[in-house]
Amino acid sequence: MQHAVVVGAGLKGIVAARRLVDRGCRVTLVDRAKRLGGVHSSIPWDGFSLDIGCHLFGNEDDATTALLLDLMGGEARPITPAVASVLAGVRTDGIEYPDLTRLPDDRRGAVLAGVLERAAERGDAPVPGIDPTRSLAAHLVDLFGASAADVLGEVFAKMLQAPPGELSAAAYSALPARRLKVTDDATAALLKQVPAFDAVILRSNADDPMRFLRDRASGFEARALYPTTGGMGGFAATATARLMEVGVELTLEAEIASLALHGQTTRLTLADGRTFDADVLVWTSGWTPLASALGEDAASVSAAIRPVPMALFYFDIPAGAAGTYHWVHDFDNDHRVFRASVPSLFGPDTAPDGRHYVCAEVPTAMDSAMFTDPAAQAEAIWAEVTALGVATGPLPERVKTLTTPASYRFPARDFETAVAPVRTRAAAMPGLLVADEFNFGKSGSVREIDQRLAGWEG
């Protein structure tokens, strides 16, 4: 039996471990944390179980959903949230991406002209793939033209906390901008008859949220899934139980010392001297720890990653104060909230009877008042949350704030240069599969692992 070692027990590591058991391996899952789950975790707060940020699992294709259900103990709540997004002070129902038709006419005209011009130039050629050696700004220009790239830089400034010229194109995987909403839906439907325009123009699915998914995600008639118990911490708990049931061996609170070739195997050595020899080793805990384990320049790799500090606000509200929307993205940069949701609407057991909780994500800088004293900002954040339509009423008496120095993480423009020696070392180790740290999203994480494992013959 082949021995597989998986490093990092976030979603990617959990998925890798599960898949490798199915491939007949003996699997050891290693993490430095006390628990599995990574960003899938919950904190208790007087009867609430709070997710760390706004989370839902997308129901994007049958294979991914089947795997997620397996990890959730066989059942999940089907959720099609009432969503909206805000741009230029206007709220649009039913979408999670920026509605660029809300821009002032002159900017909107320039964006539309640029998008169509760029697509027409491309003709039958596919949209350009991500070249991580280029900047995110250059990638956006390639896809949508210069005016749209400028606008998108402003629209996503809050989420990215950096200008797109300073980031690598690999950051694109985190942006909700595969196609752009630059016309009304009737015009979009017409333009989409032309394949080159279809590739970049978006028609809203607000009237039928499953329209584009029904064929791919046939078994589950909802856009998203939420764990039946315990929110995101509940997901981590059921996934842990499932992995143990199928025989995965857990090595937690592990400090990694080194990774090296050892004959035909890859040897992982922990700081306490324990060693694990792997026929295949799947690395899912990011490039900086990998650089360190391989004896490469981890400081340079780390310096080329831009973590986004975030303040999280939790409001304890009576059930009747939950608003019209379950989940709203705010793309206006004079507002502080990037997105807000009511997770207890998805998982009722995460709040005491008769209560709900609102979670608001506020990306910021480490030296901002928002980060150093978030409690002082609660009233302003609540005003935004109510304006978004996520909740109603006066500022709740009970508010909890959390800060994290690294919520989202994006590769800087020079990331590929910094990571090149690590990639070279990793490529020379035949049994080492490195998951892309910047492949963002839950379904994206599942697909990322499936893609890595597809390349392994074992």
Ligand X SMILES: Cc1cc2nc3c(=O)[nH]c(=O)nc-3n(C[C@H](O)[C@H](O)[C@H](O)COP(=O)(O)OP(=O)(O)OC[C@H]3O[C@@H](n4cnc5c(N)ncnc54)[C@H](O)[C@@H]3O)c2cc1C
Interface pick for ligand X out of 29, 243, 256, 381 (rule CB under 6 A): 256
Interface pick for ligand X out of 18, 20, 21, 31 (rule CB under 6 A): 31
Q: Does 8 bind ligand X (CB under 6 A)?
A: yes
Whose Cβ is closer to ligand X: residue 96's or residue 198's?
Answer: 96
Whose Cβ is closer to ligand X: residue 94's or residue 307's?
Answer: 307
The interface region with ligand X, picked from 50-58, 94-102, 161-169, 414-422 by CB under 6 A, is 50-58
Q: Does 144 bind ligand X (CB under 6 A)?
A: no
Whose Cβ is closer to ligand X: residue 164's or residue 289's?
Answer: 289
3-state secondary structure the chain: CCEEEEECCCHHHHHHHHHHHHCCCEEEEECCCCCCCCCCCEEEECCEEEECCCCCEECCCHHHHHHHHHHCCCCEEEECCCEEEEECCEEEECCCCCEHHHCCHHHHHHHHHHHHHHHHHHCCCCCCCCCCCCEHHHHHHHHHCHHHHHHHHHHCHHHHCCCHHHEEHHHHHHCCCCCEECCCHHHHHHHCCCHHHHCCECCCCCCCCCCCCCCCCCCCCCCEEEECCCHHHHHHHHHHHHHHHCCCEEECCCCEEEEEEECCEEEEEECCCCEEEECEEEECCCHHHHHHHCCCCHHHHHHCEEECCEEEEEEEEEHHHECCCCEEEECCCCCCCCEEECHHHHCHHHCCCCEEEEEEEEECCCCCHHHHCHHHHHHHHHHHHHHHCCECCCCCCCEEEEEECCCCEEEECCHHHHHHHHHHHHHCCCCEEECCCCCCCHHHHHHHHHHHHHCCCC
CB of 191 to ligand X, least distance (A): 28
Q: Does 347 bind ligand X (CB under 6 A)?
A: no
Backbone angles phi, psi at 42, to 5 degrees: -135, 150
The interface region with ligand X, picked from 66-74, 140-148, 284-292, 420-428 by CB under 6 A, is 284-292
Q: Does 11 bind ligand X (CB under 6 A)?
A: yes
Q: Does 234 bind ligand X (CB under 6 A)?
A: no
Whose Cβ is closer to ligand X: residue 421's or residue 441's?
Answer: 441
The interface region with ligand X, picked from 98-106, 138-146, 148-156, 440-448 by CB under 6 A, is 440-448
The interface region with ligand X, picked from 125-133, 161-169, 283-291, 419-427 by CB under 6 A, is 283-291
CB of 89 to ligand X, least distance (A): 25
How many residues touch ligand X under the rule CB under 6 A: the total is 29
Q: Does 9 bind ligand X (CB under 6 A)?
A: yes
Q: Does 440 bind ligand X (CB under 6 A)?
A: yes
CA distance 131 to 148: 19
Whose Cβ is closer to ligand X: residue 54's or residue 422's?
Answer: 54
Q: Does 97 bind ligand X (CB under 6 A)?
A: no
Q: Does 76 bind ligand X (CB under 6 A)?
A: no
Interface pick for ligand X out of 3, 12, 192, 223 (rule CB under 6 A): 12
Provide Rg for the chain, Cα atoms. 22
Interface pick for ligand X out of 6, 17, 58, 231 (rule CB under 6 A): 58
Q: Does 55 bind ligand X (CB under 6 A)?
A: yes
Q: Does 407 bind ligand X (CB under 6 A)?
A: yes
Interface pick for ligand X out of 64, 284, 377, 401 (rule CB under 6 A): 284
The interface region with ligand X, picked from 4-12, 72-80, 267-275, 313-321 by CB under 6 A, is 4-12
CB of 441 to ligand X, least distance (A): 4
Q: Does 285 bind ligand X (CB under 6 A)?
A: yes
**Which amino acid is it at 117?**
E
The interface region with ligand X, picked from 2-10, 298-306, 351-359, 383-391 by CB under 6 A, is 2-10
Q: Does 363 bind ligand X (CB under 6 A)?
A: no
The interface region with ligand X, picked from 181-189, 212-220, 382-390, 435-443 by CB under 6 A, is 435-443
Is 257 exposed, middle or buried, given 0-12, 13-18 or 19+ CB atoms closer than 10 A? middle
Whose Cβ is closer to ligand X: residue 33's or residue 194's?
Answer: 33
Q: Are 263 and 415 in contact (CB under 8 A)?
A: no
Name residues whose C-beta falls within 8 Å of residue 165's C-beta, 6 or more positions apart in sequence. 135, 136, 137, 153, 413
Give me the residues that bind ligand X (CB under 6 A), please: 7-13, 31-33, 38-39, 53-56, 58, 256, 284-286, 289, 407-408, 440-443, 445
